[in-house]
């Protein structure tokens, strides 16, 4: 399933979501390892790659091979060589064990067949000091985004995240349409 089918037009999407600002808020910086699960064609992964630089690494995973191809093209055009991209299912993918500083879900958690399994895989990938970031749609009626019934509210997402062994550090509003959960692995 293509997670970002609601807004293939990046220019439109930028009117209500600024990926660069979000990455800076998350303190994505040189040398970090950033995993973007459900990365689509790189709306968040590209700004992350620019920030982590050559010493850093960005893992990008999406089930949509075309989206990954587009991301590869964009990265090549910019000369970004710090990507490791994979077409596949998040339920079946662990890029590495205890290697990621940040595992990021950009408005996709509600799309996975087995979100708990996907979050467990995220926990395996995170360093003990790492952070899980879940940016997702508020569960309210609005003109954008996926159908209301498929969305997770903050409570449902938080409960899922806690159930697989995380501690919730903060839940913030991220613009008019989204919330952001920051969690860390419990030892």
Has residue 33 been placed in a domain? yes
**How does residue 1 score in pLDDT terms, banded at 50, 70 and 90?**
very low
Asked if the model's pLDDT at residue 187 lies above 90, the reply is no
Q: How many CB atoms lie within 10 A of CB 117?
A: 15
Has residue 46 been placed in a domain? yes
Has residue 4 been placed in a domain? no
**C-alpha to C-alpha distance for 170 and 182, rounded to whole angstroms:** 5
Tokens of 169: 């550090």
Asked if the model's pLDDT at residue 8 lies above 60, the reply is no
**C-alpha to C-alpha distance for 51 and 144, rounded to whole angstroms:** 29
CA angle 106/109/113 to nearest 5° reads: 140
Cβ atoms 44, 22 nearer than 8 A: yes
Has residue 65 been placed in a domain? yes
In tens, the pLDDT along 87-134 reads: 999 999 999 999 999 999 999 999 999 999 999 999 999 999 999 999
Residue 7: its pLDDT value, please? 47
In tens, the pLDDT along 134-159 reads: 999 999 999 888 999 999 999 999 99
In tens, the pLDDT along 34-86 reads: 999 999 999 999 999 999 999 999 999 999 999 999 999 999 999 999 999 99
Indicate which CATH number applies to the domain containing 71. 3.40.50.150
CA separation, residue 40 to residues 137, 169, 172 (Å)? 16, 27, 24
| Residue 16 lies in domain | 10-185
pTM exceeding 0.75: yes
For the chain, how big is the Rg over CA atoms in Å? 15
What is the tally of structural domains in the chain? 1
Residue 11: its pLDDT value, please? 83
């Amino acid at each position: 399933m293509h997670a970002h089918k609601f807004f293939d037009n990046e220019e439109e999407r930028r009117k209500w979501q600024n990926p660069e600002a979000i990455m800076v808020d998350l303190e994505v910086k040189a040398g970090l390892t950033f995993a973007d699960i459900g990365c689509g064609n790189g709306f968040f992964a590209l700004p992350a790659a620019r920030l982590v630089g050559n010493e850093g690494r960005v893992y990008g995973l999406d089930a949509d091979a075309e989206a990954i191809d587009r991301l590869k093209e964009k990265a090549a055009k910019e000369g970004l060589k710090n990507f490791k991209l994979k077409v596949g299912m998040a339920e079946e993918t662990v890029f590495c064990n205890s290697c990621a500083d940040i595992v990021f879900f950009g408005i996709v958690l509600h799309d996975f067949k087995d979100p708990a399994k996907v979050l467990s895989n995220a926990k395996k990938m995170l360093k003990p000091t790492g952070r899980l970031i879940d940016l997702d749609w508020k569960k309210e009626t609005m003109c954008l985004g996926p159908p209301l019934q498929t969305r997770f509210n903050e409570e449902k997402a938080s409960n899922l995240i806690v159930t697989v062994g995380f501690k919730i550090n903060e839940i913030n509003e991220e613009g008019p349409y989204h919330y952001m959960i920051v969690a860390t692995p419990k030892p």
